[in-house]
Amino acid sequence: MGLGLSHLSRVPARLALGFRMDLAFVLRSPALTIYYLAIDALLIPAVGGATFLLAERLAGIGPWSDWQVLFLLGYATTVEGILSAAFTYNVSHISRRIGRGQFDHLLVQPQPLWLTLATEGFAPISGGAALVTGIAIMSWAWTGLGLPLTLAWTGAFAVNLLSSVCVVLATMFLWSVVAFWAPVAGEEISMNVHDALGSLGTFPLDGIGGAIGIGLVTVFPAGLVAWMPVRALAGVSADPWGFLLTPAAAVLMFVVAVPTFARGLRRYRQTGSSRYSTFGHRR
Amino acid sequence: MNGEPAVVLTGVWKSYRQRERGSTPSEVIARLFRPRFRTIDALRGIDLTIGSGEVVAVAGPNGAGKSTTVKLLSGLLAPDRGTVRALGCDPVRDRVRFVARTGVCFGQRTELWWDHPVASSFDWKRVVWNIERQDYDRSLAVLTELLGLADIWRTPARELSLGQKMRADLALALLPEPELVLLDEPTLGLDVLAKRQVLEFCRAINQARGVTIVVTSHDLTDLEALASRIVMVHKGEVAFDGPFSELRATPGTGRRLRLRTDGLRPVLAGARFLETRDGAHEFSYDPSVTSLPALLAEAEAQVAVVDVETHRPPIDDVIAGLYEQWRTS
């Protein structure tokens, strides 16, 4: 049972399909979609609103200027935006699919599981509000900070952004493995992990040392959602290796998450799912 | 239909471990520290071969192992022991290759995209299953005609009735023209008309394309209408494997005799009394043991017989009788 990398060429067709279906969905009820997108655009960055207001009031937080805090907020919102645009339909909330017995639907598709997971949740329009808001906030902060638009910085930014997405996904998938063993108790675990990462991820975590500080970049890597990469990207830290920390952590987490999830999947193949609910399936 | 079997199960065992929960607070706390488990053998060394182009019904009482069998065949479960081969593949190890040639349809587990019209789900299937456009058009035309999809084509899945949803799901499973179709309770919850459509469609697709169909259902009348062979699973073992006619001929599942008399019920030594309904007395008898003329002579010697009717018992009654025999044995 190989990785099926020969299926890579099928990714564009899958993404085009997701785009087509999402566009049709949006065009069928434009008023509802606008309402939905507006709520998303306001609520997702609001998670970090308190941090930003505090930074404004205090003219920064610790070593962070208010513009850097704004960049942090925009970055975290963009990470969230990518997740909601590319991994919707409970692909990122995979514990729901496992816990509700909906994983069977993935296994009857004639393509490697990675291809299904990478493409099935692609809904760039209905899920794109946070992405647009995040990019807008980042662009505003980027102008305020006067950051360079060099090839090196842009490359580092893109790699770090994708790494942060990878970290969040890997963390959600890692915790979701619990649902293979405890489908009822674990059904909503990815949602809880996501909420905790989202709310902690918008804080500048400087000054938090000891076990908690280490824990927030390892066991529960909220610090890698935005804080660690933005320290390097927005010039808070002068560490020349700072750009590499999040990508390195993402690779490590990916390496841990894949076999752990595969172990859970082997368990699923042994025991199956004793429950099934249509709730949330392909909606 | 070629000579190679579509499905071969050899010595397949499948067990589940179930945790026994406490019912009182003290028991619950005690079992937190000393959990107890029991092992349920869903399948106990099953051997089963299904030829290419066959339509086989898998039946059995609740918990007999029917769904486990279908899940093993569809690659969703791996056997604990033994081997499962379907279409020459191991459904778990060769999952991608295998499911590309298999159609799976679980009753009340829709593959349709909920907020999209039925047409979108078919477009999704075409892309994910990598179906060539001309093959898609040809297959869709056949399915649309056989299952009457035209009237629901632009309706969102969430607005479909149960029967319409099942029709669309069946068509979706058949769209890639699979060689093997696995149907788990496909008529569950359907009304008479919807059931008939589903069954007629399955028959038509089997005859037209030689598709191998494995179907489970609690509705034995449906199964008899569709399948030529029935595999009865009981306590994880194959209790019967053969044609329906042979099942009907098993001891204790003979013919029925209905006697309308002047009111009195005769006592027949060669038949078993079942019930009296609307003034008619119903008996069960085994024609290989007792002849009908002998029974009638015995009855007329006791009462005035007004009307006589004989018939085969409904297949549900045959199976219920078997289940009862198994339960008490």
The mean pLDDT values, 10 residues at a time, for chain A of 283 residues are: 76 95 90 84 77 80 91 94 94 95 94 95 92 93 92 96 97 96 94 92 86 90 95 90 94 96 95 85 75
- How far is A4 from chain B, CA to nearest CA, in Å? 9
Contacts of A115 in chain B (CB under 8 A): none
> Average pLDDT, stretch B76-89?
96
Nearest CA in chain B to A268: B77
Let me know how long chain A is: 283
Residue with tokens 């946070």: A130
Q: Quick check: ipTM above 0.85?
A: yes
Residues of B in contact with A112 (CB under 8 A): 96
> For the segment B312-327, what is each residue's pLDDT rounded down to a tens digit?
777 777 777 777 776 6
Closest in B99, B113, B130 to A282, CB measured:
B113
Q: Average pLDDT of B267-293? A: 87
pLDDT for position B281: 93
- What pLDDT score was predicted for residue B2? 52
A269 in B contact zone (CB under 8 Å): yes
The whole-number pLDDT of residue B313 equals 76
Give which of A11, A20, A107 to mutate to test B binding, by max B Cβ within 10 Å.
A107
CA dist B244 and A198 (Å) reads: 60
Count of CB pairs separated by less than 8 Å, A with B: 74
Of B16, B76, B112, the CB nearest to A107: B76
Query: Between chains, do B95 and A1 touch, taking CB under 8 Å as contact?
Result: yes
pLDDT of residue B251: 60
Model confidence at B1, pLDDT cuts 50, 70, 90, reads: very low
Determine whether the interchain pair A14/B111 forms a contact, defined as Cβ–Cβ distance below 8 Å: no
Q: At B180, which helix (H) or strand (E)?
A: strand B180-184
Confidence category of residue B329, pLDDT binned at 50, 70, 90: low
Residues 91-120 of chain A whose Cβ lies under 8 A from any Cβ of chain B = 104-105, 107-112
Contacts of A17 in chain B (CB under 8 A): 123-124, 127-128
The answer to whether residues A160 and A247 touch, using CB atoms and an 8 Å cutoff, is yes
When scoring B95, B133, B175 by the number of chain A Cβ atoms within 10 A, the one with the most, hence best to mutate, is B95
Question: What integer pLDDT is reported at residue B245 of this predicted model?
Answer: 83
A275-279, B36-40, B147-151: least confidently modelled range: A275-279
**Residue of B127, B132, B133 to mutate, interface with A, max A Cβ within 10 Å:** B127
pLDDT higher than threshold 50 for residue B288: yes
Is any Cβ of chain B less than 8 angstroms from the Cβ of A283? yes
Mean pLDDT, chain B, rounded, equals 89
